[in-house]
Amino acid sequence: MGSNINLFKLCSALRVLGYFMILLFAAIVALSYYAVVLITWGPLLFHSPLRLPSFFSAFFVLLLFHILLILLTWSYIMVVLNDPGSVPHNWRHHQQQQLRSDFNLETAPPTPSPAYCSRCQNGKPPRCHHCSICQRCVLKMDHHCIWVVNCVGARNYKYFLLFLLYTFLETTLDCLALVPSFIRFFGGNKNHSLSPGGFAVIFLASILNLAFALSLLCFVVMHISLLLSNTTSVEVHEKKKGVRWMYDLGWKRNFEQVFGTKKALWLFPLFSKEDLENIPALRGIDFPTRSDVDV
């Protein structure tokens, strides 16, 4: 008996899992906030203002915690809501028209046809790949991330990298900030104010943040390597060993292809209008290549 099941459409079910991941992310943030701010460091800041060492320590930890929380939440919202970049409608037709207008039809040299997606029925610009979950081609696709219910591509890759970085820093800070509570609790300090329920919250928050910090460290290192070589996760399998990647322009220009040239905005999920206009790679259609590499 024949089957008409489309396996690519089944991939769309992963989007449902993605919405659950958003709720899980919010729950972990809330749990960490409760453990770090309300149980551990908040009381030191508001209940012991005359104990200056404790006050300033609590102020510094809480300030850094909230700064990182704002930045990671901002980056997360940006990578969730911003489109990674879609192929313009009838892109192949437009490119062919441009080629035909540059030459006389009778004397025009033969030109290779642009890549074509049989599922989207459209042309594929360089570094573009089809996402089976989103059911479309994505510009400079890196991967589909279930944590953000979105593809990571040309127009939101910076936001994704900042989200990774700030989440790693926040989870690491949470782990370090909760260590004193464990020391007081297990050290037999009779003055600790932790209830069994409060300790359970701190213990769970510590385990979750430690697990995320260790796993995110691997992703941060991997994506820094990809960023500095101007490579996506998909393209790792396309690069030829022993040949320098044709999009590798040097680490400084590779960095600017993703983060822009405005240093003041590097740490924020924002782009300047000038960078969006002057750096084609940020739009995801055209990418400069090394002049000494045959393409």
Catalytic residues: 145
Residues 6+ apart with CB under 8 A from 39: 181, 194, 198, 201, 202
Structure tokens at 198: 């409060």
HEC profile of the chain: CCCCCCHHHHHHHHHHHHHHHHHHHHHHHHHHHHHHHHHHHHHHHHHCCCCHHHHHHHHHHHHHHHHHHHHHHHHHHHHHHCCCCECCCCHHHHHHHHHHHHCCCCCCCCCCCCEEECCCCEEECCCCEEECCCCEEECCCCEEECCCCEEECCCCHHHHHHHHHHHHHHHHHHHHHHHHHHHHHHCCCCCCCCCHHHHHHHHHHHHHHHHHHHHHHHHHHHHHHHHHCCCCCCHHHCCCCCCCCCCCCCHHHHHHHHHCCCHHHCCCCCCCHHHHHHCHHHCCCCCCCCCCCCC
